Amino acid sequence: MNAQLLQVHSAGQTWTLERPADLESLWQAMDSTDPEAEEHIPYWVELWPATLALCGWIERQKHLLAGARCLDLGCGLGLSALVAAHFGATVLGMDLEPDALHFARRNAQRNAVPHVLWACMDWTSPALAGQAFHYIWGGDVFYEQRFFEPLEALLLRCLAPGGRVWFGDPERTVSRDVWARFTRRGWAVRAVEHMMVPFEESRMDVNIWELRRK
């Protein structure tokens, strides 16, 4: 399988991103007899609408990012981490899949973006310092309900006082109640942006949600 190069216009410039193949090709190549295959479906090879929307939001918050310590949850090919680092943030891109981090690292080099660290880590047991990050974000991370508890625990541990969390969410049924759940647990939650993002041959509704501790 030959690697592919994607040209993506985001945050006022064109980014060149390398990936091994498209999702369908990699999915078909997986070992269907592997009992853990479902845990490692290579969703990371796609640029999902929620991530593209999040990159636009990060650009509009660039005045906040210079010198800030940031965490990109499920960084995939690395685009949102690269955008934030381009605006002066020091970013840790975190993903469960080593292959994702391999390509994210290559993409940082290809686009000459410094100040990004990459960590292979499971958000259910993150080895991260407490109150370490001014900004934490993730694109389309609530696609399974079981992710809520470990993600909230990570936020409670790792978000610095006064910090903010940004989630790009494509209005999935499974994530519909997530924001009310955060509110009930003491978070200040607001939808800060709504946009339609082109995806394949259609468009997808994406909301950007901002969370802070009250």
User: Which residues neighbour 196 within 8 Å (Cβ) at sequence distance 6 or greater?
Assistant: 203, 204, 205, 206
User: Which residues neighbour 118 within 8 Å (Cβ) at sequence distance 6 or greater?
Assistant: 75, 78, 92, 93, 94, 95, 101, 104, 105, 108
Q: Which domains does the chain have, with CATH numbers?
A: 46-213 (3.40.50.150)
CA pair distance 100, 96, nearest whole angstrom: 8
Q: Is the pLDDT score of 33 beyond 80? A: no
Please give the model's pTM, rounded to 2 decimal places. Answer: 0.92
CA pair distance 64, 160, nearest whole angstrom: 14
pLDDT digits (tens, 9 = 90+) for 4-31: 999 999 989 999 999 998 767 776 766 6
Residue type at 64? L
Confidence (pLDDT) at 212: 98
Share of the chain above pLDDT 70, in %: 93
